[in-house]
Amino acid sequence: MPVSVLQEHIDPTLFWDAAEQILTVTTADQVVRLASDELTAFINAEPVSLEVPIRIVGDLPYAPLSFLARLYGLDWTFDQTAAVVAVLDKDLAHRESLLERSTSLRAGPSLRQVRFTSLKQGERVIIYGEEGGWLKVQSTGGLVGYIPRSATGPISTVLPDQTVPKSYPRWQPKQGAINLTWEYVHSRTPSFAEIGPLPGVNVIAPTWFNLSSPEGDLASRADAAFVKAAHAEGIAVWALVTNDFDPDLTRAVLSSSNKREKVIRQLLTYAHLLELDGLNIDFENVYLADSHLLVQFLRELTPLAHAEGLTVSVDITVPSTSPNWSLVYDRPAIAEIVDYVALMAYDEHWAASPVAGSVASLPWTEAGILATLESVPAKKLLLGLPFYTRLWEEHTLPGGGAKVTSTAYSMSRARVFLEQNSLEPTFDPSSGQNYVSLSLPGITLRLWLEDHASLQARLGLVKKYQLAGVASWQRGYAEPWVWELLAENLGTRQ
């Protein structure tokens, strides 16, 4: 059957790679690959034999219906005389009956209508409706038309197969909400002795993996000792995987079925060797035209990761009009596929912003949560918390106006800045945060604080919208008091 017909009527997520001539089928627990003219398919990387391979007829790929029917739980018949394929979804309830006498199948509910074919006594028909003593039916050969109601026996309703499909139980912490913090790793992963206590943290996500070549190679900074130490503290490890913010590299890898598979195999191998608990996918600055490729990568990764006991999470931005940074995320599809979605609710005013402002004002953050909840369920959503701010410098220009620059400040660096300059914060109602400014000759310094009040307000939004938890960027920017406040509000204190 043509792949395009299967996509239209059976499964719109069927993915045909025309360049490599590979069909990929993804379900909740399986990834199936079929290559053109090959009599071996692969289900979760295990080979299975095919009676008929994928064929290319003209420019159209045709897939083996007998194999896919078993995969999807379908019944199908082929009427060679009428050249009709009939497919019945066994997961749908339907009405049917056996013919008590032979009759004609007609184009409409009348003896004057064109006769399609003869139906024999004892033949089963599926019933779609009734009109003036006539039934609209489908024959076993797949033809749809009308027969007299008097030709059929009792009508019965066939219920779908009640077999419960396999599902992966989404990981949840033993108590409270998810309290994830990212660990930024430039070259060397710090030891837990260097990090110090993290009371209440139940997930840590070190930035360990990144795409490193257009061929789908991964670079790794992973440290098995870090995982072992985290587990000793009762903390799960979800290793972060990034695309290096490179849209061309991302396209080169994700556009190839073979390269996607290569990346996934590497990730699963690392996960097994390191005894990871999950993967955190952080693909940013991706071409909008490649949105479907990112979704397909997640469709192929998630079932295989689940089979290895791994939790899959994805980082997304606050909804905006930016093609590469926001519109590229098919949020409904992503939320359906993965276990958790981390909303990076920061960089409202980014490093090169032409205007000084908060990293994440409270009204902007709440609006971002509400917009995201339109497509991501609260039970899967983690609110991103910034543990950093920006010191803005507004330089007065000779002709008027100002040149704006910024420097990222951790919580402790911001506190020291206030102490050194004897500054007392005031509340800024527009941002919902504490704020300071300092005027010097030719320059004005501005700082919106990420402090106790700001963090408490963000945690209030987590409670208000009953989110799954938080994800904080990043551990190294936080002051020690932060962890106690998070543990108290998220119910993760042990």
pLDDT of residue 162: 60
Tokens of 157: 């309703």
pLDDT of residue 398: 87
Q: pTM here?
A: 0.91
Spatial contact of 312 and 301, defined as CB atoms under 8 Å apart? yes
Residue-wise pLDDT tens digits, 52-108:
999 999 999 999 998 998 888 887 777 666 667 777 676 678 899 999 999 999 999
pLDDT of residue 75: 79
Does residue 234 carry a pLDDT above 90?
Answer: yes
pLDDT of residue 78: 72
Task: Using alpha carbons, list the distances in angstroms from residue 94 to 9, 84, 97, 255.
Answer: 17, 20, 10, 40
**Closest C-alpha among 387, 366, 398 to residue 452:** 387
Residues composing the chain: 494
> Which whole number is the average pLDDT over 114-132?
93
pLDDT of residue 477: 98
How does strand 203-211 pair with strand 236-242? parallel
Residue-wise pLDDT tens digits, 346-363:
999 999 999 999 999 999
| Share of residues in the chain with pLDDT > 90 (%) | 89
| pLDDT mean across residues, the chain | 95
Which domains, ranges and CATH numbers included, belong to the chain?
Answer: 3-76 (3.30.457.10), 93-158 (2.30.30.40), 178-385+451-490 (3.20.20.80)
Task: Give the confidence band of 166 by pLDDT, cuts at 50, 70, 90.
Answer: low
Q: When comparing pLDDT for 139 and 349, which is higher?
A: 349
C-alpha triplet 143, 146, 152: angle, nearest 5°: 100
Backbone angles phi, psi at 139, to 5 degrees: -80, 170
Distance of CA 392 to the CA centre of its chain: 35
